[in-house]
Amino acid sequence: MSDHHVVVVGGGFGGLQLVNGLKDAGVRITLVDRRNHHLFQPLLYQVATTILSTSEIAWPIRRLYADRPDVTVLLGEVTGVDSSTKTVSLRNGMTLGYDTLVLATGATHAYFGHDEWEPVAPGLKTLEDATTIRRRVLLAFEKAEMEADPAVRDALLTFTIVGAGPTGVELAGIIAELAHITLPREFRNIDTRKTRVVLVEAGPRVLPAFAEELSAYAQRALEKLGVEVHLGKPVTECSADGVRIGETFVASRTIVWAAGVTASPAAQWLDVPADRAGRAVVEKDLSAPGLPDVFVIGDTASVMREGGKPVPGIAPAAKQQGGYVAKVIRARLSGKPAPAPFKYWHQGSLATIGQSAAIIDFGRIKLKGWIAWWIWGIAHIYFLIGTRSRFSVAWSWLWIYLSGQHSARLITQKETMREEG
């Protein structure tokens, strides 16, 4: 093994693909992440909506590389990069030297200048976010069951999702099914079928990244499930009592934010240009401008496609970038010519609407309905890590389909009623 040290910050799709691509490359790799697990983020909303448990979509990073002696895994948070000394600083005071640095630090929620909304309108990026949302959704029904004031009860049974991209649409569909199909027989003092699920989108249509015909189908499918879709008006206020959509106030005790993201501070660490979302603008080989030994990938990077459109912040894009940078590093170490500039291959866009419908946009081929849902499910099961996870998720989906019952409806935190009061 050579002395060349590759430091990878971030154990998401891009970071893991890079580490996998450097297997047997003869380098030392240190993988740093703030959490000890890799998260299959495309199914995170199913944890938030009681379909899957946390262990079904997350895996300990150390276990993934237990058989790779070239990989050292550190649980830590990076606070800065000194490109002049080629070091990375961690919050615990530790400093890592690097020969090659790869930043795959992802993104977080963007509240468009209203960060004070975050406590009442959590986003969905981590397992902690998912369990927080799940707890609030389940507690809303529990509190409504004991609430004597009709106005407060109605507010408890009103769930608002801000943002109608894939995450917002998927959340709205599952919460509606949970309220209208799964729960009605379990409560005595409330009729959960009267639950309101409100989906708010400032733009003119849901799922704006999809073709208009698929977007229209998704809206019809949501409305069939009982979701109220509000288009063309932004949310102007979020509070513990509800949301204001344009000039209209909606009393709602549970709000979920799915309206935007902002990148990690990687561009600030490197002192390089960033786009409006804070993503570092990178070169054609995904290196940082003026820093050929530093690469930025995934949601942290602003990468342009042919025609001037940005590469979307989705898992397949991050994996392609991680694999590409691994090839660049291998070429440099072996003295071979560098690969051609990075070129993103779009494999299609997918989104589900509840547990029986989905839309898929492959460009020329567009699918919707039941067949799209099957393809969506097969694709996601295929990309899960390990046979156990694939079997477990497939069984959970089959059980819900056959019984209509969600299996992950546990409220586990202590003093939850007091905490969320």
Is residue 170 annotated as a catalytic residue, yes or no? Answer: yes
- Choose the catalytic residue: 142, 145, 147, 170: 170
Residues 326 and 312 sit within 8 Å (Cβ to Cβ): no
Residues 12 and 106 sit within 8 Å (Cβ to Cβ): yes
C-alpha to C-alpha distance for 139 and 150, rounded to whole angstroms: 17
- Which DSSP string corresponds to 99-121? SEEEE---EEE--TT-GGGTTTS
C-alpha to C-alpha distance for 38 and 196, rounded to whole angstroms: 34
Residues 308 and 302 sit within 8 Å (Cβ to Cβ): no
Strands 28-33, 78-82: pairing is unpaired
C-alpha to C-alpha distance for 323 and 272, rounded to whole angstroms: 23
| N-term to C-term CA, the chain | 56
C-alpha to C-alpha distance for 26 and 3, rounded to whole angstroms: 9
Strands 71-75, 58-60: pairing is unpaired
Q: Which active-site residues does the annotation give?
A: 170
